[in-house]
Chain A
Amino acid sequence: MRSSKSVKKNIQWDKYMVYLIFISVFIVFAIVLGDKGFLNKNNIINILRQTAMISIMAVAGTFVMAAGQIDLTVGAIAAMTAMFVSLILQSTNSIILAILVGIGFGCIVGFFNGVLVTKFGLPAFLATMGMMQIVRGSAMWITDTSAVPIRNETFCKVFGIGNVAGVPVLILWTAFFYIAGIIVFNKTPFGRHTLATGGNETAAQYSGVNTTKIKTAVFMMSGVFAAFAGILYAGRLQAGRYSYGEGDEMSVIAAVVLGGTSMAGGTGSVIGALFGSVLMGMINNALILANLSSAQQTIVKGIIIVLAVAMSNIVQKKNKR
């Protein structure tokens, strides 16, 4: 018979930390900034809309980090995809072609990342850092840094500014990717193999898991999700610009880690990443509502991230007894 004490011990607090932090931060902001419109329905929807791209990239980011890898190319892929999409729409006006090229591009970059890591043995951090610069540079180069407007209204509605039954499409896309991500992560053999690869690559190999394939697959997935985020950037801002997604790779990592995924791999929570991403969006929003200067905002954001990650780490360490 187990006592209630041992049951308590079995609860993994690190898993739930993000929700606790999320709720506490939300309550604090609701009290402090309630009269400034923080709790306003439009404001809440705004937060979700603004974080959609980071949230979507964080779905794949969870897979990448659960497999013990890291992907810094996502922001650059989003920018380059937006450039491709806007240029193709400008010249052919074919939405399908634009989407295919955009997604295909993300897929290829992800594949290269995977090959660099698995075949050439580069550390993921360096491989993707190099690729990030190649891709970002190409995005600047392709139009010599000028923006490309998108005049296809259907495209902008479906991928950026439209609503379905009063719900912004960006939120719907986010929901779609989360549902898909959660199912794949928790229900398929691929999800299990990803976790095993990050948890103990040697043991995974001894169990017949092709860890080379898994690692390549998570990078490709990350590329595809980033490309889709780029499509959403293009749709929402009705243009392609090389500067989209700058710094998003760091926000994605922060969201994933806040969500309870260990940087060492082997654990992960897709829904946690959503809370991590929205948490950061919420902080952003609140700091603007609080009339902080952008310098102050940046500092406060940094402090909150450090505190949140430190808190879940402390709890994690305690768990390890």
Chain B
Amino acid sequence: MSDYALEMRRIEKSFAVPVLKGVDFAVKKGEVHALVGGNGAGKSTLMKIMTGVYSKDAGEIFIDGKTAVINNIHDANRYGIAMIFQELSLIQTMTVAENIFLGDEVTKNGVRDTAYMNRRSKEVLSSLGINVEPNTIVGTLSVGMSQMVEIAKAIAKEAKILVLDEPTASLSDSETEHLFRLIAELKSKGVSMIYISHRMNEILKVADSITILRDGLIAHTDQIENMDLNSIIMHMLKNKEGKKFDWVERDYDEQAPDLLTVEHLKVNDSIADISFSLKPGEILGFAGLMGSGRTEILETLFGRRRMLDGVVKLSGKKISLNNTKDAINAGFALIPEDRRKQGLVLIHTVKENAILPRVTRLCRKKLFVDEKQANEMVENNVKELNIITDNIHKRINLLSGGNQQKVVLAKWLNMKPEIIMLDEPTAGVDIGAKAEIIDLIRKLANEKKGVLFVSSELTELMAVCDRIIVLYDGRITGSLSRRELKAEEELQHAIQQKC
């Protein structure tokens, strides 16, 4: 018998460009193995190969020392590999027990043996110290509890290797503690866990060993006791290659009156007391871990969420932001986080998407949409933003991610906004389009617009922002001037700190 529950050797994978360049990754039995790396380092690709979502180009996988062939998710499940998704995959309307036995229902005389399934679920749950009745409807549970049920479901199916992807991102402190106790319990039962997270403090607390990926290669792998926050960050960033987005030193009038002033903004109980100001021509970044409240702040300013408390002033004048229309009329634009769900109507054309917010203002005699003007406007967008499409009447889901994102940008630039808020605008966008988007942000700032920029890619924040606000669990924990910021390490440090 091998010491390793899982071994991956010399794994390679390319999507047009190589993403994994020969990765060795091994997890011992009953250990918690942290997997870290910046965005695009290859973590999720590696996990998707392991769980059968992608097929590898080269390399070998061993489970319990024996060669394993994993072509799809069912194969992975057969080998005892289970992924606990960020977006939980339980069926909300069914009970805990029904979810645990979904697809493996036990029957007696042809009908479901509910009593047995409830009993068995209870056994699994209590053996893991999860205090929930099997006949509870999942939809009524908290996020933390649902996640634990999902883990119990995997264990009931005799999973030996669990992949936890940012499991604490939407958990409260006490739920996180509870999850850590569960992880310890699983460990004592000999279950191996791969723990993916950007939260280094948690990793240092919960993991036994760590593997750091960088640019599709293993940067470092070690026992956790030999590591600390500094060394992890160092390995994540050292000699990072790929296209660097260099900071272009730029000027804006720092003495000018505020374009936007936000005072003590409260979004909900966990995101509160957010105060900051934005000058015309300034690019203000928001850095923080998943769940730190970055998106929620932008959405509140855009009228998508109710503001519980606080004051928002535009050029010194107090404004109310009750709905999106108010925000748009006040001159806000939001490039939302989820392009496909929030940004675009995928079954419509480039043109229809690009004119949507403006369509009421594109009218002749205040009644009919001026198609000629609309076409000209969108043709112009296509030219200026270099959107690659056969014509403006092409369905948007046929465009590449980068070009789709440019249409989202075009749609808001057509509104001539004063304040442009961008939430992860380069996610899922190819490198060329990324550079174009970054240039565009700079250009907008140079035109005296105010820019609020949220990104998980610290390199990007470092490249464009004049100032970066650091958030942790819904509170502002720092404000860094780009000039004083020397290296990405500093910023990485800042977002890990509670205060």
Residues of A within 8 A of B (CB): 2, 6, 10, 183, 187-189, 192-193, 195-196, 199-200, 202-210, 266-267
- Say yes or no: B360 contacts A189, CB within 8 Å: yes
Interface string of B354-392 (1 = CB under 8 A from A): 011101101100011100000000000000000000100
In Å, the complex CA distance between A196 and B359 comes to 11
A192-B369 contact, Cβ under 8 Å, with A206-B304, A207-B357: yes
Q: Judge if B226 is at the interface, Cβ distance under 8 Å.
A: no
Q: Which of B334, B347, B352, B356 contacts A209 (CB 8 A)?
A: B356
| Other-chain residue from B325, B341, B346 in contact with A210 (beta carbon distance below 8 A) | B325
B370 and chain A: residue at smallest CB distance = A187
> Which of the residues B334, B348, B394 comes within 8 Å of A266, measured between beta carbons?
B348
> B334-360 vs A: 1/0 string, CB under 8 Å?
101000011111111000100111011
Contact at B325–A204, with CB atoms within 8 Å? no
Please, which residues of chain B bring their CB within 8 A of the CB of A10? 390, 394
Selected A-B contacts with CB under 8 Å, 7 pairs: A10-B394, A189-B360, A195-B345, A196-B352, A203-B342, A205-B304, A266-B347
Nearest Cβ on chain B to A270's Cβ, whole angstroms: 15
Interface centre among B327, B342, B363 (most CB of A within 10 A): B342
| Residue pair A192, B352 in contact (C-beta under 8 Å) | yes
Q: Is B328 an interface residue (CB 8 A)?
A: yes
Question: Of B324, B341, B345, B368, which one neighbours A187 at CB under 8 angstroms?
Answer: B368
**Chain A residue nearest in CB terms to B325:** A208
Q: Given contacts A204-B356, A208-B357, A210-B325, is CB(A189)–CB(B343) below 8 Å?
A: no
Q: Which residue of B lies closest to A2 (CB)?
A: B390
In the bound complex, how far is the Cα of B348 from the Cα of A69, in angstroms? 18
Count of B residues near A, CB < 8 Å?
31
Return the contact of A203 from the options B327, B341, B367, B369 (Cβ within 8 A). Answer: B341
B357: chain A residues within 8 A (beta carbon): 207-208
Q: What is the minimal beta-carbon distance from A262 to any residue of chain B, in angstroms?
A: 8
Partner of B343, one of A2, A192, A195, A206: A206
The answer, yes or no, to whether B323 is at the interface (CB within 8 Å) is: yes
A-B contacts counted at CB < 8 A amount to 74
Given known contacts A188-B367, A189-B363, A207-B411, is B341 in contact with A196 (CB within 8 Å)?
no
Given contacts A189-B360, A192-B359, contact A202 B342 (CB under 8 A): yes
A203 to B352 Cα, complex, angstroms: 12
- Enumerate chain B residues within 8 angstroms of A192, measured Cβ to Cβ: 352, 355-356, 359, 369
Chain B, Cβ-Cβ closest to A205? B324
Q: How far is the CB of A265 from chain B (nearest CB, A)?
A: 9
How far is it, in angstroms, between the C-alpha of A6 and the C-alpha of B357 when the chains are bound?
A: 31
Contact of B324 with A199 in the complex, beta carbons under 8 Å: no
Give Cα A193 to B361, complex, Å.
13
Whole-angstrom CA separation of A183 from B346 in the bound complex: 24
Does B345 contact A266, Cβ atoms closer than 8 Å? Answer: yes
Q: A203-B343, A267-B347 are in contact. List 15 more A-B contacts (CB 8 A).
A: A6-B390, A189-B360, A192-B369, A195-B348, A199-B346, A199-B347, A200-B347, A204-B356, A205-B304, A207-B411, A208-B327, A208-B357, A209-B356, A210-B323, A210-B325
Q: Are B345 and A188 in contact (CB under 8 A)?
A: no
Contact B341 A202 (CB under 8 A): yes
Q: Which residues of A contact B362 (CB under 8 A)?
A: 189
Most buried by B among A189, A192, A207, A266: A207
A93: shortest Cβ distance to chain B, in Å?
Answer: 37
* Closest chain A residue to B411, Cβ basis: A207
- Cβ of B345 and Cβ of A189 under 8 Å apart? no
A206 touches B347 (CB 8 A): no
> Which residue of chain B has the shortest Cβ distance to A12 in the bound complex?
B395
* Chain B proximity of A164: nearest CB distance (Å): 28
Q: State how many angstroms separate the Cβ of A7 from the closest Cβ of chain B.
A: 10
In the complex, residue of chain A having the shortest beta-carbon distance to the beta carbon of B374: A192
Contacts A2-B390, A188-B367, A189-B369 given; does A199 touch B359 at CB 8 Å: no
Nearest opposing residue in chain B for A6, CB measure: B390
Pair B369/A206 contact, Cβ less than 8 Å: no
